[in-house]
Amino acid sequence: MWNVFVAPEFSLEPKTWYYPVIGRAVYRGYFSKQDAMRYAAKLNQKGFDVYVAGVAAYSTLGWFDDSVLNTVIHRTDTGLAALIFHELAHQVLYIKDDTVFNESFATAVEQEGLRRWMTATNNQQAYQRYLSQRRRHQEFIQLVLTYRQQLESLYRQSLPHHDKRALKKNIFNQLRIEYERMKDHWQGYSGYDYWFEEPLNNAKLIPVSTYHDLVPVFMRILEQNGGDLGYFYGACKKLAKLSRSERHHRMQKILEPE
């Protein structure tokens, strides 16, 4: 599967599409890469930033038996378990028109589920590898989100388009430079080189923020509920009943110092 992400040249606000049952989402899905690339090219010609990403699996939210794709069966045990926890989380809770909430919730459940599963199986060596990989992933995510904030600041400025374009290019170049420095810190680990191989643009940042923006909030909610997943799900379902603006307002306050 393939998802197409789209954003304006000088905005990080993603284009959305409306679907039956699930409501609005920040991506358009395809079963054909050729079709996805064709659609992306069409929007790129109109001046949009576009990004086409492969998708390992998807959830039908419990309406149907989820397909098992070949992108699933070749994963490591750890990667497969993480994916299963993530996709099953969507059956527990899914809100129409709030992709960031849905995906960040599923990512938080994925991380906690994987931690508990690896502790239960008592595979310390695999768990330590997972922790090392997760630390690198968190550092990568934080790096991208830091430069995303710089872009947001740039786009709010009243500047001629050619100046914004040049400054935008410089910010993405600095992101690449900082990533190379991070690799030195990782003793040469190059697991995210694939992400930097293609041109960087606003659309490419959408999946990073969508799947991770609210994860720290959900982990704090889990902590506030004593690590009890039942109470955690209950608290998240209460948030789901609020309007989108009120929900995000309350969630941001959760991370504020008391």
Token pair recorded at residue 78: 């750890």
Sequence-distant (6+) residues with CB within 8 A of 15 are 6, 7, 26, 43, 48
The pLDDT tens digits of the residues spanning 187-244 come to 989 999 999 998 999 999 999 999 999 999 999 999 999 999 999 999 999 999 999 9
The pLDDT tens digits of the residues spanning 108-121 come to 999 999 989 988 88
Distance of CA 171 to the CA centre of its chain: 21
Q: Is the pLDDT of residue 258 over 80?
A: no
The one-letter amino acid at 130: Y
What pLDDT score was predicted for residue 28?
96
The torsion angle over the Cα atoms of residues 149, 24, 212 and 203, rounded to 10 degrees, is -50
Sequence-distant (6+) residues with CB within 8 A of 65 are none
Phi, psi of 62 (to 5 degrees): 90, -5
pTM of the model as a whole: 0.87
The angle, 0 to 180 degrees and rounded to 10, between the axes of the packed helices 124-155 and 161-185 is: 160
